[in-house]
Every structure is written in structure tokens, then in C-alpha cells.
Amino acid sequence: MAVRLEKETLAERRSRYDWPNWLDGNVWQGRQGEDFTCKETSFVSQLYKAAYDRGLRIHVRPLPDGIVEWEAYESDEDEHNNSIAV
């Protein structure tokens, strides 16, 4: 009989990157060719998508020599709503 899996379980198995750890709220630094194999701009896009898919926001800073730093954080909807000018 088939067994139902949690949504993230299947997605995490297909992922080549360690998103649960990499989006844990700490500051991370990855290097092209070691931590990710795609173009730097593609990896940055994947970071944003992975964070969005998990309901997170993310700060990303590309650096020279194929290095990317990032930090995921929880979205604060109240903070966003309070910052909108009326």
C-alpha cells in the first residue's frame, strides 16, 4: 500500500542542496564549484525560491570569486503592514 509523505519530504529528496540547514536562520557562505555548480545568478534565484517556498525571507549578498552569502529569516507580516505609507 502507498504511504503518504509530507510535502517537503519529496522535495527535499530531489534537491541537490541542503535547504533545511542552509535556510536555518544562520549566515551562510557558499562558493561556486564547491557548494553549488550552477551560475552564481542561478543559485541566487534558487535561494530566493527555496526561502519563498518555506514561507521565509532572505538576504543575499553575492561577492567576488563566485562566493554568495545569505541569511534566511521568518517573514513578519505585521512589520510589513506597518511600514506601508498611507
| pLDDT tens-place values along the chain, 86 residues long | 887 766 665 555 667 899 999 999 999 999 999 999 999 999 999 999 999 999 999 999 999 999 999 999 997 765 544 444 44
pLDDT for residue 14? 66
Whether the pTM exceeds 0.85: the reply is no
pLDDT for residue 70? 98
**In 58-85, which positions are buried (b, 16+ CB within 10 angstroms) versus exposed (e)?**
beeeeeeebebebbbeeeeeeeeeeeee
Nearest by Cα to 68 from 85, 48, 43, 38: 43
Cell numbers of 50, please? 527555496
pLDDT for residue 82? 47
Q: What is the DSSP letter of 36?
A: B
